[in-house]
Amino acid sequence: MNNKMITLKFKLNGKRVTIKTEPNIRLIDLLRDKFNLTGTKEGCGVGECGACTVLMDKKAVNSCLVLAPQVKGSSIETIESLAEGELLHPLQKNFLSHGAVQCGYCTPGMVLSSYALLNANPAPSEEEIKEAIAGNLCRCTGYKQIIEAVKATAGELNKSKKKKK
Amino acid sequence: MIRPLEITLPGDLNEALSVLSKNENAGIIAGGTDVVPGLRQGSGRFENTSLLIDINRIKELKGISISKRGISIGAGETFSSIIADPVVKKELPLLVKACGTIGSMQIRNRATIAGNFVNNAPCADSVPALLAYDTLIEITSLDGKRELFLREFLKSPYKTQLKKGEIVTKIIVPIPEKEYKYDFYKLGRRRAVAISRITLALLIHMEGNLINEIRIASGAVTPIGARFSELEKFAQGKSVNEKLLKDISSGLGKNILDITGLRWSSEYKLPVVQQVFYEMLHKTIYGGSNE
């Protein structure tokens, strides 16, 4: 069977995009190979390690478990959307300052799982943080520094919100 | 590599059903958490599949509502939305606990309730809870709708009553008439994203020291999700003491052994099942945390 190309429209990191693609690739392949967004990493390829986590309509998903045509019309956010130019997102800053990044391979997914959590729940408990990142494996840090970084970010974001009020 | 195939994204159920009935080699994809790894590994399940019907945009498959018959959950509802639903939380806490153990946040955000049982994998974590609640499922084809109990739908490992041209459209969970106490146990190699080795579900209604009603279901440790009605009958109406709890627990082990036959893993799994179920009974009857 020959592979018919399809035209796919969706929102990627806030911008409307249109791309021609084969239908039998995954979201992670689309992001890395067609859009050159290589911040999204492939680890296990079967949804167990979370390295490929991206946000789909604001929810954390494994981009290795989504077929490219399934993103039609939805909004995808990758790690590349978090920093504003040189200015890191508070989560990224805190991951660095808390030693939550060692080899760095799990970091994009870990940050995005935490980002999805904080968007939905600005003041998570430690248990809720653990639950949110349970699908992201890290073989370097032992997780403690990551949990600390997420807690610190939640604290900062809530403080700055109160100030604005 | 994923084999060449087309994907269609119908907007309503009729369109999906007519595509399904017209294409001999069409398959269904919802959350994709099981289908996509299967496709990539070249699983035999998809060897003839040339068209995938994505059912995520079909509104008839979404929504959670309450009626006289029970709580209807659209087949395409994700575990994340089921767990967060206030009605489900209040009426079906055992289901919430079981669904909360599935995969990871990323998996629960995509995986759907019908997707969990429609391939009848023994390790489906929502199945023991759904069996304990006597869940009905609704199946739709171009010819109309039919309903059957989930326990009838699940025939044998990886085989169900689903026929060609049919889609599971919703599940209906009767609202429990009593205030059941409940517990769910899952054993995997680690807490998140692990295939279950043993799952056990328990609903129990006590009247003073008497077991008024008890429902027991298992998954993963049995070839398909199972209820243990004889054991339930044995326990019903009896007054609780240590010996009874031990008898029920060892009875469960014997029942499971009768179903599975002696396997290489029995020596390990059976004592675990018996001990864990004893602890579940104890904790559920005498109190303690359900978390």
Percent of chain B with pLDDT over 90: 78
Q: Which of B54, B43, B52 is nearest to B4 (CA)?
A: B52
The 10s digit of each residue's pLDDT in A11-67 is 999 999 999 999 999 999 999 999 999 999 999 999 999 999 999 999 999 999 999
The 10s digit of each residue's pLDDT in B60-92 is 999 999 999 999 999 999 999 999 999 999 999
CA–CA dist B8, B54 (Å, integer): 6
Chain B interface mutation, best of A2, A6, A24, highest count of B Cβ atoms under 10 Å: A24
Q: Quote the tokens at residue B33.
A: 């958490």
CA–CA dist B161, B142 (Å, integer): 17
Contacts of A69 in chain B (CB under 8 A): 7, 9, 54
For residue A55, which amino acid is it? Answer: L
Helix (H), strand (E) at residue B94: helix B93-100
B11 contacts chain A (CB < 8 A): no
CA–CA dist B187, B3 (Å, integer): 34
Pairing state between β B159-160 and B6-8: unpaired
Mean residue pLDDT of chain B comes to 92
Interface of A with B (CB under 8 A): 1-4, 22-26, 45-48, 50, 53, 56, 59-62, 64-67, 69-70, 72, 113, 116-117, 131-132, 134-136
In contact, B57 and B80? CB cutoff 8 Å: no
In contact, B106 and A53? CB cutoff 8 Å: yes
The 10s digit of each residue's pLDDT in A58-106 is 999 999 999 999 999 999 999 999 999 999 999 999 999 999 999 999 9
B4 contacts chain A (CB < 8 A): yes
The 10s digit of each residue's pLDDT in B146-193 is 999 999 999 988 889 999 999 999 999 999 999 999 999 988 777 666
What was the pLDDT predicted at B55? Answer: 98
For A55-69, b where at least 16 C-beta lie within 10 A, e where not — what string?
bbeebbbbbbbbbbb
Q: What does the CA dihedral B15, B20, B21, B26 come to, rounded to 10 degrees?
A: 150
What was the pLDDT predicted at B290? Answer: 47
Pairing state between β B26-29 and B70-74: unpaired
Chain A interface mutation, best of B2, B55, B78, B105, highest count of A Cβ atoms under 10 Å: B105
Average pLDDT per run of 10 along chain B, which is 291 residues long?
93 97 96 95 92 97 95 98 97 96 96 94 90 97 97 91 96 94 87 79 95 93 88 95 95 88 76 91 80 44
Task: Evaluate the CA torsion angle B48, B45, B74, A130 in order and state its sign.
Answer: negative
User: Does A1 have pLDDT greater than 60?
Assistant: no
Contacts of B56 in chain A (CB under 8 A): 70
In contact, B119 and B205? CB cutoff 8 Å: no
Pairing state between β B198-207 and A15-21: unpaired
Dmax (CA) for chain A in angstroms is 61
CA–CA dist A37, A59 (Å, integer): 19
